[in-house]
A and B are shown apart, each in its own frame.
Chain A
């Protein structure tokens, strides 16, 4: 009897102890980001020195999952600042009133097109990129096959079983690609996807699984065509050792969809003032100049310098495919459901 009571007491004490957790030090901001948020080590040291605020980065899945979690916990957030909502997911986050508006002090320096997408400052743009079809040049050269240049071309039997795409439901580049197909093929877009289904397209959960798990140029997978970024080819050059003179992969420029990424203060955070300072830091030149070579995106601050090797190998399409945010806002759920009907069910 006594031993049992002791055991129960021990259990309850253990529970209470773990429940209390630890006490927090003077203000640490939690920055919640997707898995591709990989700034240089120590990038936040300058910020901490200047403001005394520590920044803890938490990576939690792909952007789609990130936004869903934010929506489900609106007003009672897991973190203070969110990085990684992009123009395809923005509508969902704004609908759910996830953010606390703030107009950054650096606003004037930021890309006008991007700022226009969130004029009231609910979120602040932080970078841009293009989501495009990438292909493995060597693979196609070896087999003397012409690489695909348009979305329509992908449906031909030449490219059977060669494409891998991330799931638009959970992945933001995946969603961007879906929107590209909708912009390009119009009302017939479901027919495009169902022919792609017949043509053996592989849908995987995340961009990193597609690129590092199945793309021939970056893994031991067997798919030489992948949905990725216009800045992936420079990444292949810069990270290779020894550096090749030419990029091993290339981009089908006609398939690109412009993507803008945003960061915002999560409504309900206890550290509003500190969060504002962080937002300002994220769009400052210091942080923005780190972006190209660590995350392979274009800085949104027009005053930021972009390294030469980046501009040398990266493609910036003049007329990428786009869809107005208002349209995305209205039809996203319907489109994703239709996509699921064709591809996932």
Chain B
């Protein structure tokens, strides 16, 4: 193991230990006693929350597939003008902050549907649309249509072809998408809090309720542990589902053009999908320029003049720091994964760790651990960025690792022969070639940080309250100006996140084109 790799790995591991492992261990060890477990786990109310988390997730998965099916089929099977744009549009919902989406639906839905399960489910479908389109759509793209022809020439009716050829090849990706969607819906917090009202709680919002509302950290920890266990089981299932996918054909399939009679249907599907994605966003902007029923820029003016602007600054600061810190750490981890194929799998699993810990649990761990004198950094402006980095880190690593793996070793060898030392090779060859991947990682980190809600809501302090937390707080109050201000902040979040997203898209898109040459 070269020195650079060793240092890089050490830094990553140290970082994870200090800010992830220790807080979690601290929360568990310091706060939970045996009778807490029995007290919480024996209460039927606890299991009602688990049950609610579960059934609303299942409903949300069904809704997501219902909404996503037409557009996924369209994008996965056919080539047509505007296909890439349509696919990018479907991804918008996923990287938007959950609070913004919740606010958007609050603006779109009639009053009677505020604080309802319908609102929660449809907001979940909004986010996870992207998951289905990307995961199942990608798989559909690779399906060789000519296999369908072979089946038909062998006597299989169209229905039989789908059941015996198309479906088995897509099944794994559907299971994968369903599992990922389920996971996101299960740990949903902002959506449930804003659109479900106080009387509806998933496990995640229950943790916040107990820790932050009632002040019972021990019970909150028990719920957090229970949730983590459930998540681990789901993730294990996810991995099994993904593995059962049959290998892809060697030949690259080309997408068929749109058949003439399907053209009108395709246009309808596209329009409906775009309208669905756009509606909440348009509503957010619409509401931001209305105070009560009157059009007014008062809310915009007040945000820039008053203390609400602090939250904009706080979010941007946190996002920048998260981007830098997250990219450096994820880069170090990726370096380890790529250079040490033997430990690659373990390191890869470690990078996924923060994902399995829910954001609220993360925030809880951080608050409870860093409370003694010299290391009480909870008041520091950069502390919330720590939580964000932990959340963004796995996502960035997942972008960097495959890109890094694709860097041909022979280029570095060539550099070595020309006299470049190890560090020099790293900078001149690897990092140069990975410019696009790093750009994508930076963009992702910014988007994640801007939108993070769970941990930030626990860590928020005056001067460091991030925009999503401010939006949720303002939405919980009444008053026309206050509402409008919430939507102003939400609009700003949309703009910033879309900007970050487009950086990711162009970086990834360009590198994909480059790979094809």
Contacts and interface: CB of A to CB of B under 8 A. Distances in A.
Q: Do chains A and B touch in the complex (CB under 8 A)?
A: yes
A219 interface: yes
Interface stretch (B153-161, B245-253, B354-362, B374-382): B374-382
Given A14-B320, A73-B379, A345-B45, A209 B478 contact: yes
B317 A206 contact: no
Interface stretch (A58-66, A118-126, A143-151, A248-256): A58-66
A68 B208 CA distance: 12
Interface in A54-108: 58, 60-61, 64-65, 68-69, 71-73, 76, 78-79, 92
B477 interface: yes
B46 A219 contact: no
Interface stretch (B4-12, B195-203, B274-282): B195-203
A294 B199 CA distance: 32
A208 interface: yes
A60 B462 contact: yes
B198 A203 contact: yes
B125 interface: no
A212 B479 CA distance: 7
Interface stretch (A229-237, A300-308, A316-324, A334-342): A334-342
Nearest to A92: B215
Contacts of A272: none
A76 B377 CA distance: 10
Contacts of A78: 379, 461-463
A204 B214 CA distance: 16
A170 interface: yes
Interface residues of A, number: 46
A340 B209 contact: yes
Interface string A204-220: 11101101110000010
Contacts of A79: 462
A329 to B, nearest CB: 12
B254 interface: no
Given A76-B378, A76-B379, A337-B210, 8 more contacts: A11-B324, A78-B379, A205-B476, A213-B478, A219-B478, A336-B214, A337-B219, A345-B52
A35 interface: yes
A333 B215 contact: yes
Contacts of A213: 478
B180 interface: no
Contact of B317 (A12, A15, A58, A345): A15
Nearest to B314: A18
B157 to A, nearest CB: 51
B367 A344 contact: no
A167 interface: yes
A328 interface: no
A282 interface: no
Contacts of B307: 58
B283 interface: no
The 3 closest A-B pairs by CB, nearest first: A341-B45, A169-B213, A212-B478
22 contacts: A15-B324, A18-B317, A35-B477, A60-B462, A76-B376, A78-B463, A167-B198, A169-B209, A170-B198, A203-B197, A204-B198, A205-B198, A206-B477, A333-B216, A337-B219, A340-B209, A342-B45, A344-B198, A345-B45, A345-B49, A345-B201, A345-B206
A12 B328 CA distance: 14
A344 B214 contact: no
Contacts of B200: 344
Contacts of A340: 45, 209-210, 214
A53 interface: no
A170 to B, nearest CB: 6
Given A18-B317, A205-B476, A206-B476, A341 B215 contact: no
A92 B215 CA distance: 9
A209 B477 contact: yes
A330 B214 CA distance: 13
A92 B324 CA distance: 39
Contacts, number: 104
B38 interface: no
Contacts of A219: 478
B313 interface: yes
Interface in B80-97: none
> In the complex, which of the residues A61, A169, A333, A344 has the most CB atoms of chain B within 10 Å of its own CB atom?
A344
B478 A341 contact: no
A68 B463 CA distance: 17
Contacts of A69: 461
Contacts of A15: 317, 320-321, 324
A18 B198 contact: no
A30 B206 CA distance: 32
B48 interface: yes
A116 interface: no
A61 B473 contact: yes
Interface of A is mostly: helix
A247 interface: no
A343 B197 CA distance: 12
Nearest to A343: B199
A73 B462 CA distance: 11
B425 to A, nearest CB: 15
B378 A204 contact: no
Contacts of A341: 43-45
A204 B199 CA distance: 8
B304 interface: no
A208 B307 CA distance: 21
Contact of A208 (B199, B219, B376, B479): B479
Nearest to A14: B320
A58 B460 CA distance: 14
Nearest to B473: A61
B343 interface: no
Contacts of A71: 215
Nearest to A341: B45
A76 B197 CA distance: 32
Given A15-B317, A203-B197, A68 B209 contact: no
Contacts of B367: 72
Contacts of B55: none
A108 B307 CA distance: 38
> In the complex, which of the residues A14, A336, A343 has the most CB atoms of chain B within 10 Å of its own CB atom?
A336
A141 interface: no
B212 interface: yes
A146 B212 CA distance: 40
Interface string B29-58: 000000000000001111011001000000
B381 A19 contact: yes
A339 to B, nearest CB: 9
A344 B212 contact: no
B216 A337 contact: yes
Contacts of B379: 73, 76, 78
Interface string B203-239: 0001001101111100100000000000000000000
Contacts of B313: 18
A98 to B, nearest CB: 12
A58 B198 CA distance: 25
Given A209-B476, A337-B219, A64 B45 contact: no
Contacts of B324: 11-12, 15
Interface string B176-205: 000000000000000000000111110000
B48 A345 contact: yes
A344 B201 contact: yes
A202 B214 CA distance: 20
B213 A336 contact: yes
A204 B321 CA distance: 36
A203 B193 CA distance: 13
Contacts of B473: 60-61
Contacts of A209: 476-478
Contacts of B382: 19
Contacts of B48: 345
Contacts of B45: 340-342, 345
